[in-house]
Every structure is written in structure tokens, then in C-alpha cells.
Amino acid sequence: MSKAGNEFDAIIVGARVAGSAAAIHLGGQGRRVLLIDKASFPSETISTHIVSGGGVLALKRLGALDLLDKAGAYRFMHMRMQFDQHDMTGVPRDETRNPVLGLCLGRYRMDQVMLDCARSIESVSVLEQTRVLDLLVEDGQVVGITAVTGSEEPHEFLMKGARLSSRLFSVGNLLNTYRDPATDGALLLGDSGLHVDPLFGQGHSFALLSAEILGGVAREWFSSGNGKAIKTGLLSEFTRRRDALLMPHYYATVATSRAPAIDPMLLAGVHAGATEQWAADEIVTNAQFMTPPGKFPTFRLARLVGSLMKQPAAAT
């Protein structure tokens, strides 16, 4: 392979939801992207199959939603929560109060559609059945990878790889995992950087919204970068935005999956949703990543939940 043929603005390891979405964002900006995966597509993987409202809106902004609908995605409107004797059903709503339909499609088809969407961009190159053998590091910075496709000889691809590192929170056999995603020349995206218990089916939305944040800050990275690798200082803006949007949901999932009993505030929230439809819609809208940071709960929901928490427990 020629030198010109192995140099890229970004190398993305992993071509499923997060990787393909990131490639679409960067390729749409004219960046030369290499997207690789050890699998051959279409292929199955262990996963939930739902994309909640916030993730669906991210797919729409990405330009992939219509393609997924054409691939046979099932669309749903309501989200139901049941805790103890309380049962609430809510509808996620956008800023104009219109319902946002969730999406359900098996990974065998969804990943293929997302990959084809990335592949359709002229500046994106895709390699399937390709394994990363090693990172290329110069002066402490990740500048590329060594990878092999099938039975071919290993090749070096220059600019960006991935590194696993940092803090880990574990709950039972299902890991809620937080990692500081940035190091000089590399960034962790999707489950590799922030993974949640599938309890609430939020993984797809975490991946899609993280990729969207990446696309939003990438322009500054490439215009400000010096040398062969983008420095951690620039990459840290991704971490700040990702954590501001997603960490409240991460911590809620950690608390719920770890707790031996239902949290009284969570129980009161579901009780509120079972009592008032507007409360159910507000809770579901927030659970599906559609409430701006700092805007949940509203005063009236907080007041309703507070009043319900003061009520004596029902006799059993």
C-alpha cells in the first residue's frame, strides 16, 4: 500500500453503531476516514435492539433514519415503567410537544445499514475482517495502528488508534463502565468509553449521541491540531460535553442496578407518572435523552414527587 493510501485524518476501530455514526459525521466534513472492524457484515452481536427518542433524533440529524425505516425498523411510541404497585406509561415529546417514535431493529440489519451509509461517503474507506495488532506511538502520542485484513500482510495506518484506560465501576456480572476517553491522538467512543447496564436499553442512544458530540467538536480539533496527533487538551472538550449530557443517566443506571431495593425517589417518580400523564411524559422524555441538561425535573414535577414521598406507605 502506498504512503498516500495509508494516511488518514481519523482511524475508527469498530464499525457498528458508534463507529459508523462517527465516520458519517467526520466524512460529512470532508475528513479522510478509515473505518475498520474485525467482523464481516452483516453479522449478529449481543445487544438490545431499541433506540430511544434522543437516539432517534440523532439518527434523523445524521441522515440515517429513513434508511433504517426502509430496512424494516419497528417504530413505537410509549415507554412503560412498573415498580411495586405503580404502573406508568409515557410518551417522549420533542420541544414542540410532538411525540417522538422509538425504533427497534435487529443489529444484523441495523449495523449493515449504518455501515453502508458510512461507506457511501467518498472520503470514508471501510475494511471488514480487519484486526488491530498494535498501536503506533511516537513521543507518547498515538499516531496510527498496525492492522491485518484476512490473510494479508500487516499494514500500518497512520494518524489515530484507540487505547483502553482509566476508572472502572462494576455492578455484578454486567459492567457499568466509565473511562476517561481522551489521550494524545486517541479517543474512546461508544461502549469502550462509557458503558451502561442494559436495564434501560440506553446503549444505542449513548453511542449515537457520543458520535454526534464528536462530530460537533472535530472541526476545532483538525483546525487547531499541530504535529501528527491531536493533543489531549483539545480532545477533552469531547469528554466535557459527553459527560454533561450522559453522566446523569449513567449514575441513575448505576444506582438502580446496584441497589437491593427500589430508591424511594424513583418509586415516587413512577407514582407521579401513574398519577398524572404530563408527569409520565416528562419522565419518559428525560429518560430518552430529550431534556436539555439542567432542565429536569421541572418545578411542578419536583413538587408532585415531593408530596408523594411524604405520603405514608400503602398497607400490604
Alpha helices for 164-288 (secondary structure H): 203-224, 232-258, 264-275, 277-287
Q: How confident is the model at residue 225 (pLDDT cuts 50, 70, 90)?
A: low
More reliable by pLDDT, 312 or 77: 77
Reply yes or no on whether the pLDDT at 39 is more than 90: yes
Q: How confident is the model at residue 137 (pLDDT cuts 50, 70, 90)?
A: confident
Reply yes or no on whether the pLDDT at 160 is more than 80: no
Q: How confident is the model at residue 129 (pLDDT cuts 50, 70, 90)?
A: very high
Reply yes or no on whether the pLDDT at 161 is more than 70: no
Beta-strand pair 186-187/182-183: antiparallel
pLDDT of 257: 77
DSSP label at 182?
A: E
Alpha-carbon gap, residue 152 to 99, rounded angstroms: 50
Mean pLDDT of 274-281: 96
Alpha-carbon gap, residue 163 to 34, rounded angstroms: 17
Residue 143 · residue 137 · CB < 8 Å = yes
Alpha-carbon gap, residue 14 to 35, rounded angstroms: 7
pTM of the predicted structure, to 2 decimals: 0.87
**5-23: per-residue pLDDT in tens?**
688 999 999 999 999 999 9
Domain 4-49+106-258 has CATH 3.30.450.20: no
Reply yes or no on whether the pLDDT at 92 is more than 80: yes
Of 295, 284, 298, the C-alpha closest to 101 is 284
Which residues are registered as beta bridge partners of 127?
Answer: 36
Q: Where are the domains of the chain?
A: 4-49+106-258
Which of 25-29, 118-122, 129-133, 187-191 has the lowest average pLDDT?
187-191
Reply yes or no on whether the pLDDT at 105 is more than 70: yes
Mean pLDDT of 92-98: 92
Mean pLDDT of 140-152: 87
Angle between helices 277-287 and 264-275 (to 10 degrees): 130
Name the grid cell of 159: 494518524
pLDDT of 1: 39
pLDDT of 90: 95
Of 21, 11, 108, the C-alpha closest to 61 is 21
Mean of the per-residue pLDDT values of the chain: 86
